[in-house]
Amino acid sequence: MPKAILFDFDGTLADSYPAIAASVNHVRAAHGLPPLSVEEVKRHVGRALPYLLEQTVPGTNLEADTALYRAHHPSVLVQGTQLLPQVADTLAGLHARNTPLAVCSNKPVQFTRTLVQQLGISQYLIVVLGPEDAARPKPAPDMLLVALKRLNVEPKDALYVGDMTVDIQTARAAGVGVWVIATGSDSLEALEAAKPDRILSRFSDLLLL
């Protein structure tokens, strides 16, 4: 049993892609560009907002478009996000075992903190971090190491759970075990090729630890 479990957010704990796509399309509309589908946006999620905008808004002015995205996103944040199956019960079960839980996501942290409250899982999480809380975003290990320091847990005693190859890279860089689930931006084949410690078939399999 790990002494702490850290989670990615988008695609791991929640399906937030409709909200993200809505804000991406708001920025695209300001550039006179047609909307993208949720699936077209989804594959670019998880590597922080600058990357998302660079991939989805040709000719993006990052400073202006980041501000535009951030200003729009609260209007779609809650209604465009829902917990993935088995997440709430699994977090509750792990919390009942006194396992410290945290979120480490490349999503802007103000949005993640709002969502964990609105989705009813904040009581299970000791730490919620975003790219603003570390020197570098994922795949750098910084965010995970900040969380583990706050939890007073050594990397070798922790597990990171994500949905992308970038999560595997981040965990490896931090010296943390890594399990993934194919509910997010990367395919099962891509996850298998990146060789995590385990691929979960169901989120609730975490309760078998």
3-state secondary structure of 134: coil
- Rounded Cα distance between 103 and 101, Å, is 7
How does pLDDT run across 93-146, given as a tens digit for each residue? Answer: 999 999 999 999 999 999 999 999 999 999 999 999 999 999 999 999 999 999
Catalytic residue list contains 8: yes
Q: Which CATH superfamily is domain 4-15+81-208 in?
A: HAD superfamily/HAD-like (3.40.50.1000)
> From the DSSP assignment, how many helices (H) and strands (E) are in the chain?
9, 8
The 10s digit of each residue's pLDDT in 22-56 is: 999 999 999 999 999 999 999 999 999 999 999 99
Over the stretch 160-171, which tens digit does the pLDDT of each residue have?
999 999 999 999
Q: pLDDT category, 1, cuts 50, 70, 90?
A: confident
Active-site hit among 8, 10, 142, 167: 8
Tell me the DSSP string of 98-120: T--EEEE-SS-HHHHHHHHHHTT
Contacts of 3 (CB under 8 A, 6+ apart): 99, 100, 153, 154, 157, 158
Neighbours of 120 (CB within 10 A): 12
Kindly indicate the confidence band of residue 148, based on its pLDDT and cuts at 50, 70 and 90.
very high
Domain limits, the chain: 4-15+81-208, 17-75
Beta bridge partners of 161: 7, 179
Q: Which of 8, 10, 54, 2 is nearest to 159 (CA)?
A: 2
Q: How far is CA 206 from CA 26, 100, 181, 202, in A?
A: 37, 14, 11, 8
